[in-house]
Structures are given as structure tokens and as C-alpha cells.
Structure 1
Amino acid sequence: MALLVSAYKSAKKDELYLFVPKEDGLEKLSDELLVMFGEPQHVIDFDLTEKRKLARVDAEEVKKALETKGYFMQMPPSEIEKMGDMPPPPEHLDNIF
């Protein structure tokens, strides 16, 4: 069964996202969480299903968090994860100087 979800990005931290059930919005979130997250900027509303592909997390993990905590926070990738997206270095580095 699909769950309608709203996604927000943080104005404080790049690549920090908050997912909440659309019907609840941000009203049920604690003030502490919202202060830490910063001013939420709405990104998209979407139907969350088990088969839905999300960028960095499993849809089932998001759904469980929404059902238990009322929100899911997607943390920014670590520097090591970001490096995984980089192309490999050239085989011969002797031509760079």
C-alpha cells in the first residue's frame, strides 16, 4: 500500500532531507528536531511503495521510520561515500606536472 510522503531539504546542511507523511506535515515534529534541521524547504510529494527506488535509502527503511517515529531523516553522504562517485585517477600521473 502506498503512503503519500512529503520530502523537505534543510536550509542549514546540504544533502540533509526530512521525509514525513503528507497528511501529518511538519506539525507533529518536535521543535528541537526542526531547530536542528533548519528551515524546511519543500522538495516533492510522492507515493512511497516497497518498490519505489530512492536515491540513498531503502523505501522499506523509510516506511518503518515514518510509521514508528513519524519522520525519516536522510543524512548527507560521508566524504568517503562522496569519493565513491569520483572517477578513478589516471594510470600515469607523470604528465600532470
Structure 2
Amino acid sequence: MKRLIEIFRSPRREGMYLYVDKQQGFVDVPEPLLKQFGEPHSAMTLLLTPERKLARADASAVLESIEANGFYLQMPPTVGEGDDEPG
């Protein structure tokens, strides 16, 4: 499965991104989520395949979520996520 998606960043929360099908746009994104997200700013458009490497998301999970829900929401990293420091 491959899909042309557009990724939007939230102006309200650093590191929050919304992935949607380029053709469908925000049709299936719930209104309360869009209000919390803020005015979406386009970050990029790409052809996504399950094998594609993404910085902080699993491409297969993104595709599955868009197929099932019409969108994928990437939340900001939690404190300590990605730290190389031993715990």
C-alpha cells in the first residue's frame, strides 16, 4: 500500500504533527482535534510506503491509521524520549 500524504505541524504544540491523505484533507479529522491542534501549517507532502523510514513514526502504523481513521496524529516526544543518557 502506498499513499500520497500531507503532513501538517501544529502552531500550538512543538512536535505535534497531523498526517492526512493529500486528496481527502481534513474531511475525517474530528472538529475537537482540529480546534486543539490549531491552524495547520503544511510541513511536507510525500509518497508514503510501509518501508519508508520516518523520523518519529512507523510508516505502516501511519498508513493503517489513515486508512482506518482518515488521519494519524504524532504527539511530541515525552521527557527523556530519545535521550542517550543511561537511566
TM-score by length of structure 2 reads 0.90
Runs (5+) with no aligned partner, structure 2: none
For the residue of structure 2 that corresponds to 1:43, the secondary structure is strand
Residues in 1 aligned to 2:29 and 2:18: alpha-carbon distance in whole angstroms:
11
Matched, 1:70 2:61: no
Equivalent position amino acid for 2:75 in 1: M
Runs (5+) with no aligned partner, structure 1: 89-97
Structure 1 residues 52 and 33, CA gap change in structure 2 (3 angstroms): same
1:26 CA displacement: 1.7
Alignment of 1:1-97 (within 5 A): 1-82=1-82, 84=83
1:67 CA displacement: 0.5
For the residue of structure 2 that corresponds to 1:80, the secondary structure is coil
Identity of aligned residues (%): 38
Query: RMSD of the alignment, in Å?
Result: 1.5
Runs ≥4 residues deviating over 6 A? none
1:64 CA displacement: 0.5
TM-score by length of structure 1 reads 0.82
- When Rg is computed on C-alpha atoms for both structures, the one with the higher figure is 1
Structure 1 residues 44 and 16, CA gap change in structure 2 (3 angstroms): same
Equivalent pairs, count: 86
1:55 CA displacement: 0.5
